[in-house]
Structure formats: structure tokens, C-alpha cells
Structure 1
């Protein structure tokens, strides 16, 4: 697991999905790594999803929040599911997501209790995307 000055993170790619687990702060290094992977997925597949484990997440410094806002001005993820976040961290993540929406990126993000529910939500979102776009050939 890569270590930053303020915590650790684990980032993996599963097709069109970036799965991130954060221990400690979601700092600028973590945000940069996630955004680079999401951009690569979008170049390779045409869309990206994010799956976030925030069960050990403790916060987002201002520089990481700024980068999230800037990145979302020019990139859009198809959707994302966040699991494991306690009330305080869900509140913080919700504030960051509201800022993302203010820059014009109306990304679908869902808070769910666990990884299994998060994966089900993403699968259902993919299925809706395929139906609304006219079939799998558009995105596969």
C-alpha cells in the first residue's frame, strides 16, 4: 500500500472501475493518483467508475479539495459508490461532492453501507447507462 505523508491508500483498476481504499487523509497525492487512474480508464474504455472505501478515512485537506474541483471541471466519471464512511466523513464527502456539482459536473454518487452494496449499485448504474445509450456496443 503506498504511503503518503498523511496516511496510506490502495488503488486498483478493475476494467472501467477504480477502487480506492484510504487510511487517513485523502491528501493531494491520493487525489492525484486517483485522477490519473480515472483519466487513463476513460482514455482506454470511454467511461470510468469509482468505488471508494472510506472506512478508515479521516479527512480531505484544502489542496486536495481544490484539485478535486479543478479535475472535475474537465473530467466526468460515470458514477461512483462510497462505502464504510461514518456520519462525519459522509458529511465531509457530501460537501466535496456539492462543490463538484457547482463546477457543472453532476456525477451520480451513492453512499452505501458496504462493498457488496457498492458493487451492486455500480452494476445497476452500468445497466441503466447501457439502456439509455442504446446498447452495450456504444460503450464496450
Structure 2
């Protein structure tokens, strides 16, 4: 049976490559997805890659992942700092969770320094740009290798 990894992306990440490229880079979300898909395929994992501007949709995907995934990488974007609901959904999951942020949030505005998701995350990748997604998936792959 193929193991599934979920990559979930929050609001405005559909604008990657167009929105503030000096902060978020020039790669698009489609570019990131293609690299993540290749990495997962190389290691025998199925990738479920989603983006939504809606908090409720992200929660629905987290709840879906709870039943089918062996790991979640999540860039909750602005919901990082505001969503107890996403924290609660992630807390109901037993699989590993890696939080991802393209920019170094600790070098930015003070409100970005707090993350509800970090309270549940098993690891955090911050400030590595688009490569952060691959790092998160590599960690999830390694954690699953440790449980075989």
C-alpha cells in the first residue's frame, strides 16, 4: 500500500511568484508542487498537495489526512498566527506534522512570531524558501522509515 503525505497551503500561497517575490521568492506554487511530487515519487509516497484561502477547507483536509496520511507538511500562512481551529484539527491527528514557512518569520513583524501550529508541530522549517517544502517532506519520509 502506498503511503500518503499531505502538503497543505493556506491563504495567498496561490499567488507565489507574483506576490512580494522579494519575501516569498519567484517560484510558483505549481513549481513547488512539481518538486515535492517528484521527491515523494522517488521515495514511494503518494502526494496530496492542496491550497485554499479558506480556513474551513484546510481543516477538512487535515481531518481527511487524519484517516489516510502518514504525515502532514503545512504552511498555514496567515492562519499560523490566528487559527486555534487549525491547531485543534492538527492535534486530533496522530501522524507527524511539519510546519513550513518560506520566509524567516522571526525577522518580520512581531505578530508573525507567534504560531498556534507550532504547539502541535513535530518540526518547523522556517526561512528556507521553496526548499523548505522539500526539507519538510524529507523529514516526514525519514520519520516514516523509522516506524517501518
Deviations 1:28-56 (A, max 9, x none): x73221121122123123x23124274xx
Match of 1:128 in 2: 143
- Give me the whole-angstrom Cα distance separating, in 2, the residues matched to 1:36 and 1:80: 18
* Distance across 2 between alignment mates of 1:31 and 1:89: 22
State whether structure 2 residue 101 is matched by structure 1 residue 83. Answer: yes
Residues 74-122 of structure 1 deviation map (CA, whole Å, 9 limit, x = unaligned): 2345122413234336863644245xx3xxx453222142122331232
Alignment of 1:68 onto 2:86? yes
Which residue is 1:40 aligned to? 64
Q: How high is the TM-score relative to the length of structure 2?
A: 0.51
TM-score, normalising length: structure 1: 0.53
Question: Tell me, which stretches of 5 or more residues in structure 2 are unaligned?
Answer: 14-52
Distance 1:119 1:90, change over 3 A: farther
1:89 and 1:122 mapped to 2: Cα distance? 27
Task: Name the structure with the higher strand share.
Answer: 1
Cα RMSD of the aligned pairs, angstroms, is 3.4
Q: Flag the structure with more relative contact order, 1 or 2, with Cα contacts below 8 A and sequence separation at least 6.
A: 2
Across the two proteins, how many residue pairs are aligned to each other? Answer: 104
Match of 2:9 among 12, 17, 20: 20
